[in-house]
Structure 1
Amino acid sequence: MPRTAFYPGSFDPVTHGHLDVLTRAFRLADRVVVGVGANAGKTPLFAAAERAELLRACAAPLADAAGATFEVVVFEGLVVEAAARSGASLLVRGLRDGADFDYEMQMAGMNGELAPGLQTVFLPAAPGLRAISATLVRQIAALGGDVAAFVPPAVVERLAARFPR
């Protein structure tokens, strides 16, 4: 039976850390759906549609190399409901450090109560990518710093357009 994984996040912007987790998720499931969260309570740098477009562009070659089926959806509301709409049985979450682990364990517990059939899978970030966060990338870019080591070239271009020097 084909296995579908749902990998939710804000991806504002997509980083090498996100793509690392996604690459490993391709090994766990036949189909991976990346869910771009559109939270009305947050003011993202990039609109949800633009984040989805960047994810498709950056991750499609990785999916092709892995022979994985891949898609990106924009969702609002509960992650477990978006995962159910995607037919997912796995919920993929990346971990960078202990703080992520503590938060994600709480979320996994709550999600398990809301959707008992959805199994959360934690994938630790590669050691060289653990310091990367989308928040730090946005801050560095806004201050004119070089973020090329942290994000794909397409994201570097979008950030440069957003924060011209």
Structure 2
Amino acid sequence: MRRAVCPGSFDPVTNGHIDIVSRASQLFDEVIVAVGVNKSKNRLFSPEERIEMLRTACEEFPNVQVDGFTGLLTTFCQERDVSAIVKGLRAFSDFDYELQMAQMNSKLAGVETLFMPTSPGYSYVASSLVKEVATFGGDVSGLVPGFVLDRLTAKLAGPRTE
């Protein structure tokens, strides 16, 4: 079975993330969306909220599952017999960092990384930018699924979750 992982923080999940997962699901028998959980980082959404939103966003893909992980991604891959990591690249600036990570992951665990260019319509979309624009009242409705927009709007109107 060809199994891949699409890792990220997904804070929040964007249409760009879903596009990469969708395309990866067509290439692999199974895709695991791996939500990085780092308690020391200040996220808008809790790990449980991010996992829940991703599960809803990926419902239409029967060969996609969502799980959280802490620690090294390579350990997560080894524990689940994953041989490939799929990473979306928006711009050349992403490539520089991701190439170093790919080489480290290969050295640590023999896990290959496949770089997938984002679809042109999502090349500028980043979770951090979505949050920033939404914080100042900008329209991000075309950048995230509707249910994520609802949660984002509610979260920004209320107290922040650590």
**How many Å apart are 1:86 and its aligned residue?**
2.1
**How many Å apart are 1:25 and its aligned residue?**
0.5
Q: Deviations over 1:82-109 (max 9, x none)?
A: 1122221111111000110111101001
Give the residue type in structure 2 aligned to 1:51.
R
CA distance in 2, matches of 1:164, 1:40: 23
**How many Å apart are 1:142 and its aligned residue?**
1.2
**In the alignment, what sits opposite 1:133?**
126
Structure 1: which 5+ runs fail to align? none
Identity across the alignment (%): 44
CA distance in 2, matches of 1:85, 1:22: 21
Q: Deviations over 1:15-49 (max 9, x none)?
A: 01101110110011100001000112311100011
**How many Å apart are 1:141 and its aligned residue?**
1.2
Once superposed, which parts of structure 1, at least 4 consecutive aligned residues long, lie more than 3 Å away? none
3-state SS, counterpart of residue 163 of structure 1 = helix
CA distance in 1, matches of 2:121, 2:64: 25
Give the residue type in structure 2 aligned to 1:105.
L
3-state SS, counterpart of residue 32 of structure 1 = strand
**Residue correspondence of structure 1 range 88-103 to structure 2 within 5 A:** 88-103=82-97
In the superposition, the TM-score normalised over structure 2's length comes to 0.94
Structure 2: which 5+ runs fail to align? none
1:154 aligns with 2:153: no
Count of residue pairs the alignment pairs up: 158
In the superposition, the TM-score normalised over structure 1's length comes to 0.92
CA root-mean-square deviation: 1.2
Give the residue type in structure 2 aligned to 1:54.
M
Q: For the Cα contact (< 8 Å) 1:6–1:86, is it kept in 2? A: no
